[in-house]
Chains A and B, each alone.
Chain A
């Protein structure tokens, strides 16, 4: 039975169902119980934004609040995964990768290859990503390209509650290390979500809107901006196809290429900074593999090459907007087309 729940609830439900199914699933992170060791432990936070609330009571001992030591506990999650557990470690904000990146980059990502195929590291690292929370430069980045660059890691960034649940369940069941990016501005976003467990395979993009004139590729929050742009463009009789990548590594090239073969036009929308980004990656791949189909140069709509600013007036300029996406489409979809 599907009912409307928020992305935050969907993530909580995925953790709940997987912890119930598999005793090897444990969860650790700062304040994920919240209040551990405090008088109010029973009414614990359940994470800074309450994503894990209620799980501590259901699975006592299997949610571990950690000291504020990201290297130690992210590394411990990776070590436990290499020893047969299925840990889900919450890094709170992906920006905090700076203090524990070695364990992700040089340990988890490389064990399988470096040890000649003999290791398996089924760890999930959940973290909040993205701007729009007025959280400034160190709590707002979209660092997906950094992780997508690293062989051995899988990178997931859902745009809605339904995908979040199915992709997190897949991430927990997956035998490779997964960086699971949760856009903090989507936690309240609601969608129809079935009550039961279901896994969405990685590497399968979703065509969230069909159209014949231009392909808009995105992921995370900016999928919604792309859809908003597509609705406006439809009024100008430009039909945009919107593709939600859902997972960035592996990435579903086939769906992107098939769409561009039809539309001949590509706009990639990426909340990350522009250089060496998902936008450049998708654009380059399409140019290399489908050059003949392109009727115009691919366009990239990204954040600027700056840190995330604090002042709301600046931050709102930072995140790719529906206006910017519409403008990018207009640039390559000549007015003649609408006429």
Chain B
């Protein structure tokens, strides 16, 4: 048995792999199921970006809160939202995480510290400032993490929130998931600075850019920022440069991408492959152990899809419930 060169023990390495594999399997399966026409509405897949959500969420517990994006399935899974309830929600079923009233873009589980996927880009940044403020008042050591893409990085409310978090010294981390495309528009076109770290410094925040396909790079950078925030050191920005295997939404022909770009990314920039190879080659987790996780995850997603398909639809009565606590 070789020594473990990683900052996580074997159990946590396997947990991280299981999380990333669950996200990947969930998204690959949705890609297939969506094409069959059974899933209503829009679905935005996180495949290729798993290392970012997982590398960050490995540092969090339920007391910590995150605000997600329209591309939120990965954040949900990594934050511990029930996969069966997520799948049922995406199918619009009464057993869904939001009883079929939210759908893919609004999956939330406040008990798990998941403040919602969000259809309004950048809207999570102010909300997480509130989560950080609440943690500060309670003194519970909680942190807030807001995820947003390179596209939403240009929203005024994100920029306002960076200043507010700095002014109030909030335990908040701004995570830019830079996958190179705002829907179809290139980050090089739409963002005037080369690095989001430059943006952060403009607001007085420390910032770090990491290779978002490298789980360990994300894990270590996020760990440092989260530790600092918990100790009262204030907000920070983490830019994860990553790749999006699928289009903006399912059904996107991705004509804006270079020829062969997706194939190249799957071959050379697959965060899951890179992680598994490193950990296997170091002799910490065996190929058989990874394969066993793959099988379990495969069965979990299979069961989640089957249950979601079989689950009851919301009833007409549900249309008008839950608008208010009391009215």
Contact: B157 with A71, CB < 8 Å?
A: yes
Which of B119, B128, B324 lies at the interface centre, i.e. has the most chain A CB atoms within 10 A of its CB? B324
Residues on B with C-beta less than 8 A from A80 are 130-131, 133-134, 137
Measured between beta carbons, the chain A residues less than 8 angstroms from B125 are 72, 75
Chain A residue at smallest Cβ distance from B127: A79
CA distance A116 to B130 in the complex (A): 21
Question: Given A107-B127, A176-B325, does the pair A82, B157 have CB atoms closer than 8 Å?
Answer: no
Complex CA gap A8/B126 in Å reads: 29
User: Whole-angstrom distance between the alpha carbons of A138 and B284 in the complex?
Assistant: 64
Quick check: is B235 within 8 A (CB to CB) of the other chain?
no
Does B279 interact with chain A (Cβ within 8 Å)? Answer: no
Query: Does B171 interact with chain A (Cβ within 8 Å)?
Result: no
Contacting residues of chain A (111-126) with chain B, CB-CB under 8 angstroms:
111-120
The segment from A61-69, A217-225, A297-305, A312-320 found at the interface with B is A61-69
Question: Which of the segments B3-11, B24-32, B93-101 contacts the partner chain?
Answer: B93-101
Residues of A close to B133: CB separation below 8 A: 26, 76, 79-80, 85
Binding-face segment, B12-20, B159-167, B215-223, B294-302: B159-167
A29 within 8 A of B: no
B127 A102 Cβ-Cβ under 8 A? no
A 73-105 to B, binary, CB cutoff 8 A, 1 in contact else 0: 111111111111101000000000000001100
Give bound CA distance, A81 to B125, whole Å: 15
Beta-carbon contact of A114 and B102 below 8 Å: yes
Inter-chain contacts of B211 with A (CB < 8 A): none
Q: Are A107 and B326 in contact (CB under 8 A)?
A: no
Most buried by B among A66, A78, A117, A176: A117
Cβ–Cβ < 8 Å partners of A85 in chain B: 130, 133-134, 137
Do A72 and B98 have beta carbons less than 8 Å apart?
A: no
Measured between beta carbons, the chain B residues less than 8 angstroms from A188 are: none
Which of chain B's residues has its CB closest to A112's CB? B322
Complex CA gap A107/B96 in Å reads 20
Whether A103 and B123, one on each chain, are in contact in the complex, defined by CB atoms closer than 8 angstroms, is yes
Chain B CB within 10 Å, residue with most, of A107, A114, A152: A114
User: Which residues of the other chain, A, contact B138 by a CB distance below 8 angstroms?
Assistant: 84
Q: Which of B119, B125, B130, B322 has the most CB of A within 10 A?
A: B130
Whether A67 touches B163, Cβ cut-off 8 Å, given contacts A112-B325, A114-B106, A120-B325, is: yes
For chain B, what secondary structure do more than half of its interface residues adopt (helix, strand, loop), or is it mixed?
Answer: mixed
When distances are taken between beta carbons in the complex, the residues of chain B under 8 Å from A72 are 125-126, 129, 157, 160-161, 163-164
Within 8 A of A (CB), among B249-307: none
Question: Are B126 and A73 within 8 A (Cβ)?
Answer: yes
Q: Does A74 contact B126, Cβ atoms closer than 8 Å?
A: yes
Tell yes or no: B233 within 8 A of A by CB: no
Cα(A66)–Cα(B126), bound, Å: 13
Contacts of A69 in B (CB 8 A): 160-161, 163-164
Which residues of B from 22 to 69 have beta carbons under 8 Å from A? 65, 67
Q: How large is the interface on B (under 10, 10 to 19, 20 to 34, 35 or more residues)?
A: 35 or more
Among B108-116, B182-190, B191-199, B238-246, the one that faces the other chain is B108-116
Distance A81 CA – B126 CA, assembled complex (angstroms): 12
B321 to A117, Cβ gap below 8 A?
Answer: yes
- What B residues does A26 contact at CB under 8 A? 133, 137
* Contact call A113/B131, Cβ cutoff below 8 A: no
> Given known contacts A64-B168, A117-B321, A175-B325, is B123 in contact with A107 (CB within 8 Å)?
yes
Decide: A75 and B327 in contact? CB cutoff 8 A.
no
Q: B27 to chain A: closest CB distance in Å?
A: 22
Query: Once bound together, how far apart are the Cα atoms of A107 and B130, in whole Å?
Result: 13
What are the residues of chain B within 8 A of A74 when measuring CB–CB? 126
**Given the interface contacts A82-B110, A83-B131, does A151 sit within 8 Å of B160 by beta carbon?**
no
Q: Which of B80-95 contact A (CB under 8 A)?
A: none
Q: Which of B67, B97, B167, B324 contacts A67 (CB 8 A)?
A: B167
With a cutoff of 8 Å between Cβ atoms, the chain B residues found around residue A64 in the complex are: 168
* Interface of B toward A, CB cutoff 8 Å: 65, 67, 96-102, 106, 108-111, 115-116, 118-120, 123, 125-131, 133-135, 137-138, 144, 156-157, 160-161, 163-164, 167-168, 321-327
17 other contacts beyond A76-B126, A111-B116, A116-B101, with CB at 8 A cut-off? A26-B133, A69-B160, A71-B126, A72-B125, A76-B129, A76-B161, A79-B67, A79-B127, A79-B144, A80-B131, A102-B120, A103-B123, A112-B322, A113-B322, A119-B108, A154-B327, A203-B327
Which residues of A line the B interface, CB within 8 A?
A: 24, 26, 64, 66-67, 69, 71-85, 87, 102-103, 106-107, 111-120, 151-152, 154, 174-176, 203, 250
Q: Could you show 30 A-B contacts with beta carbons less than 8 Å apart?
A: A66-B164, A69-B160, A71-B157, A72-B126, A72-B164, A73-B164, A75-B126, A75-B129, A75-B130, A79-B67, A79-B128, A79-B144, A80-B131, A83-B65, A83-B130, A83-B134, A83-B135, A102-B123, A106-B120, A114-B98, A114-B101, A114-B108, A115-B108, A117-B321, A118-B98, A118-B109, A119-B116, A154-B327, A174-B325, A250-B327
